[in-house]
A = this chain, B = another copy of it.
Amino acid sequence: MPVNTPGKHALAIAFLIAGSAFVHAWAQPAPASGGPVDPALIQDLVFANRILVDQSVLDAFGHVSIRHPKDPNRFLMSRSLAPALVTPEDIMEFDLDANAVDQRGRTLFLERFIHGEVYKLRPDVMAVVHSHSPGVIPFGVTKVPMQAVYHNAAFLGAGVPVFDIRAVAGTTNMLISNRDLGHALAQTLGEKPVALMRGHGDIVVAASLPMAVFRAVYTEVNARLQQQAIALGGPVTYLSPEEAAKADLINEQVLARPWELWKRRVSGKRD
């Protein structure tokens, strides 16, 4: 596990991590499970992994989680694995400190803390996507704010904050590799659905798994459209915040249409 060293606190944090690893291995009991989960929900989480690859949001990296449907203090996510390869057997359960309920030697995503810390601060959130969405990354490294070009990306209308890990932790390996960094990212996200991570990627959240997938896909699409609109030159008319708020209600209403399509595509049942 990489040791993050944010400025002058590096040694202290390294000590804490080493210490907690010791405790975990020898003394701290694994967290209790939130209980069995409907296999259909697990299957949807597998679909979400593959849809996000099929829709060019994820490549070999990135992850998607859901909050445990019966226990708000647990979440479900794959072991460390390329998302295109995830199967139901790879889904694990974690507490909100990102400790595995039943690790059995499996490798964990280095950045699982993103998910736990967002679930802590955002009780409304039931699903989290972390990606290196390629169209989005340029907006994280420039001063150009992402804005909603069209109605399908209306959820961006309230603004898209950018998290610069350097501002909170100095020189790092860029990863959200501990709870403190996860907490700082979740604070930057605030009440928004999307936050960019400078030099890294973004996170997308929603009150349901299909909506988190929808938002991740249309964040990527909107980034490409905004890039093109800016390249045309001259002023760009974005959705007003009021238009965006109204239009986003429609996205909720029509969500089943892309979700069913995208599941068909990755199920090999595309006809």
Q: Please report A residues at the B interface, Cβ cutoff 8 Å.
A: 2, 5, 59-61, 80-82, 84-85, 110, 132, 134-135, 137-139, 141-144, 148-152, 154, 164, 166, 171-175, 198-201, 221, 224-225, 227-240, 242-243, 246-247, 249-250, 253-254, 257-258, 260-262, 264, 270-271
CB-CB under 8 A for A237 and B198, given A243-B174, A249-B2 = yes
* Identical chains bound together, number: 4
Whether A201 and B82, one on each chain, are in contact in the complex, defined by CB atoms closer than 8 angstroms, is: no
Determine whether the beta carbon of B199 is less than 8 Å from that of A138. no
Known: A110-B254, A171-B246. 20 other contacts (CB 8 A): A2-B250, A61-B152, A81-B257, A82-B258, A84-B261, A84-B270, A85-B264, A137-B149, A137-B228, A137-B229, A138-B225, A138-B228, A149-B199, A166-B243, A171-B243, A175-B250, A198-B237, A199-B243, A227-B231, A230-B231
Report the minimal beta-carbon distance from A193 to chain B, rounded to whole angstroms. 17
Are B80 and A229 closer than 8 Å at their CB atoms? no
A142, B224: Cβ atoms closer than 8 Å: no
The answer for the CA separation of A236 and B141 in the assembled complex, in Å, is 5
B61, A238: Cβ atoms closer than 8 Å: no
Q: Beyond A2-B249, A257-B80, A257-B81, is A232–B138 a contact (Cβ under 8 Å)?
A: yes
